[in-house]
């Protein structure tokens, strides 16, 4: 049994591709030109080497960004994974605010606080641009052993 996925609007498709591009670019910056700045944002309470966290999260961001761009057939599942990723990294943003860590020009509580407000926006953008919330029931079809995945594309 296959499940059908509703096509997305042009605005959602553009937003998905832009979000994917931004994620992939951010991931590359983790690996190459902003590595130290990202290390400053890794909370001290995290039980991993800061460089490992930065490299691993950079690779994840590149993969997720490319998936948003190149796998429109699986956009619903990818949208949920991207939203979960944004939720998973939110404690690091909270830590940066609480500890007053300066990085990326976020050098005062106001700017760090404003940044916190944008993380839920990224979660919502991931869900909206992929149609993940709207088409959430299609994930059941993806997870069934007898399913061939979604039949629609965006």
Tell me what the pLDDT averaged over the chain comes to: 87
CA angle 88, 137, 83 (to 5 degrees): 15
Answer left, alpha or beta for residue 144, where phi above 0 means left and psi between -120 and 50 means alpha. beta
3-class secondary structure, 84: helix
pLDDT at residue 58, as a whole number: 97
Residue 80 clears pLDDT 70, i.e. is over it? yes
pLDDT tens digit string along 82-110? 999 999 999 888 988 998 888 888 889 99
Over residues 118-133, the mean pLDDT reads: 95
pLDDT band for position 153 (cuts 50, 70, 90): very low
pLDDT band for position 141 (cuts 50, 70, 90): low
Find out whether 39 and 28 touch, Cβ atoms under 8 Å.
Answer: no
Q: What is the dihedral of CA 77, 81, 84, 89, to 10 degrees?
A: -160
pLDDT at residue 1, as a whole number: 36
Residue 15 clears pLDDT 60, i.e. is over it? yes
The pTM of the full predicted model, rounded to 2 decimals, is 0.82
pLDDT band for position 152 (cuts 50, 70, 90): very low
Query: Domains of the chain: which residue ranges?
Result: 10-129
pLDDT band for position 128 (cuts 50, 70, 90): very high
pLDDT band for position 22 (cuts 50, 70, 90): very high
């Amino acid at each position: 049994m296959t499940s059908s996925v509703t096509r997305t609007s042009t605005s959602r498709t553009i937003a998905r591709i832009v979000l994917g591009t931004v994620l992939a670019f951010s991931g590359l910056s983790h690996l190459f030109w902003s590595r130290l700045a990202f290390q400053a944002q890794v909370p001290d309470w995290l039980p991993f080497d800061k460089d490992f966290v930065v490299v691993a999260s950079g690779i994840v961001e590149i993969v997720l960004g490319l998936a948003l761009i190149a796998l429109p057939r699986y956009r619903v599942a990818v949208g949920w994974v991207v939203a979960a990723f944004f939720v998973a990294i939110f404690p690091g943003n909270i830590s940066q605010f609480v500890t007053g860590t300066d990085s990326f020009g976020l050098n005062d509580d106001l700017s760090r606080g404003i940044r916190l407000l944008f993380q839920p926006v990224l979660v919502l953008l991931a869900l909206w641009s992929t149609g993940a919330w709207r088409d959430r029931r299609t994930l059941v079809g993806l997870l069934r052993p007898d399913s061939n995945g979604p039949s629609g594309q965006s």
